[in-house]
Amino acid sequence: MDISKEELDKIVQKAQDAFLISKKFSIQKRVSFMRAVADEIEALGPELIQTAQQESNLPEARLTGEKGRTIFQWRSYADAVERGDSLDASIDTANAERTPPKPDLRKTSVPLGPVVVFGASNFPFAFSTAGGDTASAIGAGCPVIVKAHEGHPVTSGIMADAISRAAEKSGMPEGTFAHVYSSTYETGQQLVSHPLVKAVGFTGSYLGGKALVDLANQREEPIPVYAEMGSVNPLFLLPGKLSSVPQELAKQYAGSLTLGVGQFCTNPGLVVGIAGEELNQFIEALKEEIVKIAPGVMLNKKIATGYAESREKVIGQSGVEVLAVSETEAKEGQGVPTVATVAGVELLANPALLHEVFGPFALIVQCKDASEMLAVTEKLEGQLTVSLFATNEDVASQEEIVSLLQTKCGRILFNNYPTGVEVSKSMHHGGPFPSASNSAFTSVGADSIKRFVRPLSFQNWPDEFLPEELQNANPLNIWRTVNNEKTKEAIS
């Protein structure tokens, strides 16, 4: 069902009206709303999981876990809002004796305004209608308009209804949350271009995210688009580690590569090692694992077709050799596990080999030596993750590679696989462009709330008219920086 421009205008105007009302609310009211959303989602019966299974082809166990993750996101973000984490409240009290006199300055973070969120295909709960972008924008105090993902419209509707019920029960104004269905790009473009919209959250492809970024920058008032756009998430195998457990690494890697039919934005699709007997042992063991893994049904026909096309494009490049393919023939809509290899020198001459293949596909880059591995590292674009498999001695001996890898990603793992994104304050899910549109922010963890706020300083204001977090008595009992010291104490 598509929607007219006039209907969109009304939805955005209601969001703006809600913003002007709710910005006066106490933070505790916002917290109560977020916890009510978590309760509503938790109370959803088997219909939610069954519907999501039908629409996304994801298994029951995966969806059950993702539902729990989504509930946890709402509750943990609510806790962070209650603690004042995203407010970053600071106070520098006046000093009339100084020359010139020092004013009373107090700074907090305030919501931007209406936010548009685009639902993601691969996580129908945790990164879609009721996902992290929506939860963090609500946590910031922003009304949210979600454009439902066409891959799971009924699932999205169930989640949208849960949020709407929570909003009504919590006494939030009409327009605090809206859910839009549309199969056209024009609807998304109109939402991003609307002058009352102040920010955008997006999880998806590079082409989709970059188009939204460009559109937002062309507005009369440019707005931030926080786009998480995926990456190849390279995995580096250093010689010391590789020589000790090549078969074990291959088995673990095969599991990470094919988890969820490779449909994670952190899927490790590129392996970089130094050619030799140790890497050959890894490759032979990996080949044995891959042929045994059956193709899996992908999220939808469009994604399956995209995987097949991207896979064939890489396989067809000069110097690329297919090493192993699942021995089970893929049916329509399935993604076939595949491993290919290429020499480091060929990859350095062909940037197309560094593009993401969204699915269970791996390209193993065989470098002739550490110098060529460094050159491959330099060639990498920004990534969400980089995984380093190494001994301590490897790290010490390849300091230049290790240091350079840290400039290429938002999360660097040591002897660990990236297909698992913990929801916590210390998680950074983002990275240098083109993995994300702004490397300074995360889309996972309570710090994601900071995307949708801006600083506001109050100078010499009467205490009674200040936001609660800046008042002398500290009625919210939050941590504040007062005259350069962290404290919960009131100001006397």
**How far, in Å, CA of 474 to CA of 417, rounded?**
43
Regions in the chain scoring below 70 on pLDDT: 1
Angle in degrees, CA 50, 54, 59, rounded to 5: 70
Q: Is 265 a catalytic residue?
A: yes
The owner of tokens 């006066």 is: 24
**How far, in Å, CA of 106 to CA of 468, rounded?**
11
* Residue type at 283 in one-letter notation: I
Instruction: Identify the active-site residue in 40, 142, 265, 278.
Output: 265
Sign of the torsion angle spanned by Cα atoms 74, 78, 84, 87: positive
Q: Is 409 a catalytic residue?
A: no
Instruction: Identify the active-site residue in 228, 278, 289, 469.
Output: 228
Angle in degrees, CA 144, 7, 170, rounded to 5: 35
Contact 8, 37 (CB under 8 A): no
Contact 412, 388 (CB under 8 A): yes
Contact 363, 269 (CB under 8 A): yes
Nearest to 51 by CA among 128, 133, 140: 128
The whole-number pLDDT of residue 262 equals 96
Sign of the torsion angle spanned by Cα atoms 154, 129, 57, 334: positive
Nearest to 54 by CA among 43, 65, 46, 42: 46
Nearest to 79 by CA among 430, 478, 482: 478
The whole-number pLDDT of residue 467 equals 97
The whole-number pLDDT of residue 388 equals 98
Q: Write down the H helix ranges in 23-152.
A: 27-43, 46-56, 60-83, 132-140
The count of other CB atoms within 10 Å of the CB of residue 151 is 21
**pLDDT tens string 424-482:** 999 999 999 999 999 999 999 999 999 999 999 999 999 999 999 999 999 999 999 99
The whole-number pLDDT of residue 183 equals 84
Q: Determine which helix (DSSP H) or strand (DSSP E) holds 394, and give its type and residue range.
A: helix 392-397
**pLDDT tens string 300-340:** 999 999 999 999 999 999 999 999 999 999 999 999 999 99
Residue 118's Cβ-count burial label (10 Å; 0-12, 13-18, 19+) is buried
**How far, in Å, CA of 142 to CA of 133, rounded?**
11
The owner of tokens 């010499």 is: 460
Angle in degrees, CA 124, 127, 129, rounded to 5: 70
**pLDDT tens string 250-269:** 999 999 999 999 999 999 99
The whole-number pLDDT of residue 1 equals 58
**How far, in Å, CA of 380 to CA of 325, rounded?**
26
Question: b/e for 409-419, b at 16 or more Cβ within 10 A?
Answer: bbbbbeeebbb
